[in-house]
Amino acid sequence: MTTARDVMHAGAFCVGENESLLDAARMMRDHGVGALPICGQDQKLKGIITDRDIVVRCLAEGKDPGSMKAHELAGHLHCVRADDDMDTVLRKMEQHQIRRIPVIDGERLVGVISEVDLATGHREGQRLTDQQILEFMDKMYMKA
């Protein structure tokens, strides 16, 4: 059985909940990612922030990314456990229409699964079946 741990991108970088959106944007640029988990002072996962969140919910609303904090965009968090099977992971991503999902072990962030991780695992002939990929794509992109 393939689990979230088998597919995830380990070593995810976190932005601190009290760091600015400008800091978050720079971290995204420096690490070549479009999303960052938000971690609290207690090292627990508090949310996830995307480059789109910064543009739409900060810049487009005329807010200052240098003073707005990451926790202000945290919102509701969807995540999976490291030992969840891939059907569970895909179902959660489909149900909530999310393209990246944090992976936790206990309450600690251990990685992130993105659409790229799903595609890479499939291309390498491991982890996901053709049927799983087809159903995921259909549910994510072929909605009427």
Q: How confident is the model over 43-99, as pLDDT tens digits?
A: 788 999 999 999 999 999 999 999 999 999 987 889 999 999 989 999 999 999 998
**For the chain, what is the mean pLDDT?**
88
Candidates 3.20.20.140, 3.10.580.10, 3.40.50.300, 3.20.20.220; correct CATH number of 4-141?
Answer: 3.10.580.10
52-90 per-residue burial string, b: 16 or more CB within 10 A, e: under 16: ebbeebbeeeeeebeebbbbbbbeeeebbebebebeebb
Query: Which pLDDT score, from 0 to 100, does residue 121 have?
Result: 65
